Amino acid sequence: MNYRLLAALAVIGLSGCTSLESSRPVRMASIAPEEGLTWVRTDGQSGRANPALLDQFAADRAACVAPPADNAALRAAESCMSARGYVLVAQSQAAATAAEFRRRQGY
């Protein structure tokens, strides 16, 4: 009897762990070790045309990424940068990833 109750509670508890498709992170495809990596904002915005975003990125990168900023250092900084709203992707995937994030944001 106690096992049935425990099983029912486990099912109820785990049912809350489902996620919506729109909240799934964009996963990067397999990256060759020599391919360059870059950061993309999870809202899809770019700092190229927005000095405030560019300044924020510079501050975030300085706080998270240890020199030299090679692929190993960028990978080591993933959790710090992720907490600040960035995802690490291959440079060849940056534009498509940003476009997908913009689509999910509705702009």
What are the pLDDT digits (tens) for 51-99? 999 999 999 999 999 999 999 999 999 999 999 999 999 999 999 999 9
| Structural domain includes residue 11 | no
Does residue 52 lie within any of the structural domains?
A: yes
Structure confidence by residue, pLDDT tens digits, 33-43: 679 999 999 99
How far is the C-alpha of 36 from the C-alpha of 28, rounded, in Å? 13
Q: Give a yes or no: residue 9 inside a domain.
A: no
Cα separation, 44 vs 49, in Å, equals: 13
What's the predicted TM-score (pTM) here? 0.68
Domain holding 57, by residue range, is 28-105
Q: Is residue 2 part of a domain?
A: no
Residue 95 lies in a domain: yes
- For the chain, the domain total comes to 1
